[in-house]
Structure 1
Amino acid sequence: MTPEDVLQFARERDVKMVDFKFVDVPGTWQHFSVPIRELEENTFIEGKPFDGSSIRGFQTIDESDMLIIPDPDTAIMDPFTAVPTLSLVCNIAHPGPGMHKKPYSRDPRYIALKAEEYLRSSGIADTSYFGPEAEFFIFDNVRFNSANNIQYAEVDSDEAYWNNSRNGSANLGHRLRVKEGYFPVAPNDTLQDVRSEMALILEELGVLVEAQHHEVGGAGQAEIDIRFNTLLKTADNLMLYKYVTKNTARKHGKTVTFMPKPIFGDNGSGMHVHQSLWSGEKPLFYDSEGYAGLSQLARYYVGGLLTHAPALLGIVASTTNSYKRLVPGFEAPVNLVFSKGNRSAAVRIPLTDCPSAKRIEFRPPDPTANPYLAFSALLMAGLDGVRREIDPSEHGYGPVDRDLYHMPEEELREIRSV
């Protein structure tokens, strides 16, 4: 879209307010709104001012003046506002003399743009595609407090096993047992319609959905798979994914959390990230003669991911709770090897003979990560592997085509862990 296209889009929908969204360093959307008369073509060039000192990870109070610059390609109608509201995702820029409209170096969206620019300048490829699988829990009740005299946290799901003897319930049956929540039908799966509503809203907003289903966690764990796209577009889509799932759940009196490990003893929520590189219309990760159909370039990319995995975790698994998930025994990918079709490895190579579908899946990330920073870091690590020709087999990263979760302890000790 051009700025004029956006203004026409707004006129056709009788927009009253414009909501400017941008992402902070931890990966949360922030926003402020203005009446539609305040949106002009010039706004997409000159931006709108805001206080950068009040945003986590941005400016100190003595240098707090910042600008948002709306991206016209992100224009959508916000599906959750009663007042007709146009939503625009923004980049961050400096306003001052000599710095006017210079991109802000701490803006996560700008970092994603720079990562894509670096890829194009590298000569290795011109396009990177990312496909995240962000899992989440849908809770019926969340309570917590930390005061001078009390401290507690409680989450509850009507589906959870602990409610099979709840007093006052009309029906205590059809509760899912721990770690038995993958793909059950109703009446065990009570959240089908909620997930479908989320998926259809995403589709209406231009985010293509491939599937939605109940996940392994019995207390309302879910996953909605969205179609892969370029790095920046996928990061934008993932932010919208979180916005839609959380607000749809709220409409039903429920709470969505992307916390990696909200329930002790049950599966956590990961964000497995599928990745591939292309040059024009040519997929670069496929070679029919290679292991699992991988090209040598793809192997080097895998080598970069596995070599840098411990450092990557600080970005792709960025909370203390992330490391409650990354433990053995809960389908968590803690073993630094690659393997074909093997979900116990940190890097899985999905089985396919289709060149355009050949990709690698990095499994340690979780959905608390800032997607702009996470995808950029993964791309840089993979490209470093290509640049330095880090073959994973030559560095002890496999392939290991065995169930790593049930490997004898003495053999497992020989495999590095995240």
Structure 2
Amino acid sequence: MSVQKVLEQIKENNIQFVDFRFVGLSGGAHHITLPSTEVDADTFVNGVAFDGSSIPGFRGIEESDMVMMPDTETAYVDPFTSHPTLNIMCNIHTPDGQRYDRDPRSIAQRAEEYLQTTGVGTTAFFAPESEFFIFDDVRYESSMNTSFFSVDSEEAAWNTGRKEEGGNLAFKIPVKGGYVPVAPVDSQQDIRSEMVRVMQESGLRIERHHHEVATAGQAEINFRFDTLTKTADNLLKYKYIVQNVARQWGKVATFMPKPLFGDNGSGMHVHSSIFNGDTPLFYDNKEYANLSKLAMSYIGGILYHAPALIAITNPSTNSFKRLVPGYEAPVNLVFSKGNRSAAVRIPIAAVTPKGCRIEFRTPDSTANPYLAFAAMLLAGLDGIKKGLDPIALGYGPFDKNIYDLPEEEKKEIRSVPGTLDEALDALEADSGFLTEGGVFSQDFIDNYVALKRQEAKAVSIRVHPHEYSLYFDC
């Protein structure tokens, strides 16, 4: 969309405000709003100034001036504001006009540019399945003398005996019993459908929605795949709509990987493939699971670099509360067709040559999608460049339930790091694949690791409520 068309859209839709947005290192969106009367063609040339020192991990106060440069292709009308507002995603530039190397969106774009220089293909497609919970009540506190969290849901398994509902209507979802039941067990059909309606009106192509496995309102809505940066843009839009529709319905949505103990967590299974023009490069019907040798090397790269990759695709301490065996968590660094206990699954149901893809099941939605998708692509490209063979490297295929294997066999299978600190250690030891083509800078990686170390320490030094259960009577 040209600048002129955006200006015409502002006039034709009586837009009163234009919301300029960018993404921080954590993956959260930030914004500055201008009255539409202050937006003209020069705005898209000169950008919108902001204070980079107030964004964690961006700039020091002595060099705080930064500029948002709008990407007109991302414009859409905000579905929630009282005053007609147009939202536009931006790239971050320094005052001298250079792309900022810590800008996650610019990193995603550099990854796409790097792909084209490799000669492997022209386009990488991504499709995340970002799961979430819809709760009715959320309370938490962490202070010197208090530490707790409490969540509630009208459909939660623990509410079968609750009286406060004014007559308990039963049909609660058991632990691990929430996968695609119909109403009245699935009480959230209408709110998910409303989320889908708003997403469609905002430009997302939605493929389906359903209740997920866990009790207490776990959900999934799938939107159509697209190129790397566009998919990351779409995921931010998706999360924005999910959380704001939930708010309108008097509920709250969270993408936190493990908000509940003892039931499945929320992942972000990421499907990806590479095309050369219109030609899919991952398909070969004469090979295992219809995967080409190039695709197998791509898998080899992801699994080989997975310990470091997980520092970016699972970048929270809570991520590792989900990555434990027994809850469909893909902790095993192997690949398989149709096997959800493997870190890399190859979908085989109703797959066409153009739909042939791999699914990396380990990530979760605490990841910054621009960084996660870029890092995945770079790991896969490194596997292609080096001709890594995942079978020769011992990554499978494992076409059986890995959780049921004898302990001796399980010992032969590599697992994901057990903590965020372990993943960060792996990233520090194996970051060369990320700096190929100048996609990630070493400065970015060092800064990222330092910020995540602070998060890990903030959790590790705090007293945990369960420690009272274990040790108070010592």
TM > 0.5: yes
Identify the residue that residue 381 of structure 1 maps to in structure 2.
379
Structure 2 Cα separation of the partners of residues 41 and 201 of structure 1: 29
Identify the residue that residue 161 of structure 2 maps to in structure 1.
165
Are residues 1:145 and 2:138 paired?
A: no
- Kept in 1, the 8 Å contact 2:131–2:218? The answer is yes
The alpha carbon displacement at 1:172 in A equals 4.2
- The ranges of structure 1 where at least 4 consecutive aligned residues each deviate by more than 3 angstroms after the TM superposition are none
Identify the residue that residue 191 of structure 2 maps to in structure 1.
194
Identify the residue that residue 323 of structure 1 maps to in structure 2.
320
Identify the residue that residue 442 of structure 2 maps to in structure 1.
none
Identify the residue that residue 370 of structure 2 maps to in structure 1.
372
Structure 1 Cα separation of the partners of residues 147 and 26 of structure 2: 25
- Kept in 2, the 8 Å contact 1:132–1:274? The answer is yes
Q: 1:377 is matched by which residue type in structure 2?
A: A
Identify the residue that residue 93 of structure 2 maps to in structure 1.
93
Q: 1:120 is matched by which residue type in structure 2?
A: Q
Are residues 1:279 and 2:276 paired?
A: yes
Are residues 1:10 and 2:3 paired?
A: no
- Kept in 1, the 8 Å contact 2:152–2:216? The answer is yes
Structure 1 Cα separation of the partners of residues 142 and 319 of structure 2: 21
How do 1:175-324 and structure 2 match up within 5 A?
175-324=172-321
Are residues 1:130 and 2:126 paired?
A: yes
Identify the residue that residue 35 of structure 1 maps to in structure 2.
35
Structure 1 Cα separation of the partners of residues 161 and 285 of structure 2: 55
Identify the residue that residue 80 of structure 1 maps to in structure 2.
80
The alpha carbon displacement at 1:56 in A equals 1.4
Q: 1:126 is matched by which residue type in structure 2?
A: T
> What stretches of structure 2 of length at least 5 have no aligned partner?
417-474
Cα distance per residue 1:154-203 (max 9 Å; x no partner): 11111101111112221241011100000011111111110001111111
> What stretches of structure 1 of length at least 5 have no aligned partner?
none
The alpha carbon displacement at 1:151 in A equals 2.5
Cα distance per residue 1:21-48 (max 9 Å; x no partner): 1100010000110110121112111101
SS in 2 for 1:323: helix
The alpha carbon displacement at 1:75 in A equals 0.7
Stretch deviating more after TM superposition (40-49 or 325-334): 40-49
Structure 2 Cα separation of the partners of residues 46 and 108 of structure 1: 20
Identify the residue that residue 408 of structure 1 maps to in structure 2.
406
Structure 2 Cα separation of the partners of residues 146 and 48 of structure 1: 37
The alpha carbon displacement at 1:233 in A equals 0.4
Q: 2:386 is matched by which residue type in structure 1?
A: R
SS in 2 for 1:186: coil
SS in 2 for 1:357: coil
Stretch deviating more after TM superposition (208-217 or 139-148): 139-148
Q: 2:385 is matched by which residue type in structure 1?
A: R
SS in 2 for 1:374: helix
The alpha carbon displacement at 1:235 in A equals 0.2
Identify the residue that residue 114 of structure 1 maps to in structure 2.
110
Structure 1 Cα separation of the partners of residues 344 and 144 of structure 2: 46
The alpha carbon displacement at 1:149 in A equals 4.0
* TM-score, length of structure 2 as denominator length: 0.86
Structure 1 Cα separation of the partners of residues 89 and 338 of structure 2: 36
- Kept in 2, the 8 Å contact 1:46–1:101? The answer is no
Structure 2 Cα separation of the partners of residues 57 and 199 of structure 1: 34
Identify the residue that residue 20 of structure 1 maps to in structure 2.
20
SS in 1 for 2:376: helix
Structure 2 Cα separation of the partners of residues 155 and 48 of structure 1: 39
Cα distance per residue 1:319-368 (max 9 Å; x no partner): 00000000000000011111111111111111045111110000100011
* TM-score, length of structure 1 as denominator length: 0.98
Cα distance per residue 1:228-273 (max 9 Å; x no partner): 0000000000000000000000001111110000000010000000
Identify the residue that residue 47 of structure 1 maps to in structure 2.
47
- Kept in 1, the 8 Å contact 2:314–2:367? The answer is yes
Structure 1 Cα separation of the partners of residues 146 and 336 of structure 2: 48
Identify the residue that residue 345 of structure 1 maps to in structure 2.
342
Structure 2 Cα separation of the partners of residues 108 and 281 of structure 1: 28
Stretch deviating more after TM superposition (78-87 or 167-176): 167-176
- Kept in 2, the 8 Å contact 1:198–1:248? The answer is yes
Q: 1:376 is matched by which residue type in structure 2?
A: A
Structure 2 Cα separation of the partners of residues 64 and 399 of structure 1: 50
Q: 2:388 is matched by which residue type in structure 1?
A: I
SS in 2 for 1:392: coil
The alpha carbon displacement at 1:146 in A equals 2.7
Q: 2:271 is matched by which residue type in structure 1?
A: H
- Kept in 2, the 8 Å contact 1:166–1:172? The answer is no
- Kept in 1, the 8 Å contact 2:313–2:363? The answer is yes
- Kept in 2, the 8 Å contact 1:165–1:172? The answer is no
Identify the residue that residue 426 of structure 2 maps to in structure 1.
none
SS in 2 for 1:394: coil
Stretch deviating more after TM superposition (170-179 or 312-321): 170-179
Stretch deviating more after TM superposition (293-302 or 137-146): 137-146
Specify whether residues 415 and 77 from structure 1 end up closer, same or farther in structure 2 by C-alpha distance, changes over 3 A only.
same
Structure 2 Cα separation of the partners of residues 281 and 185 of structure 1: 39
Identify the residue that residue 59 of structure 2 maps to in structure 1.
59
Structure 2 Cα separation of the partners of residues 70 and 260 of structure 1: 31
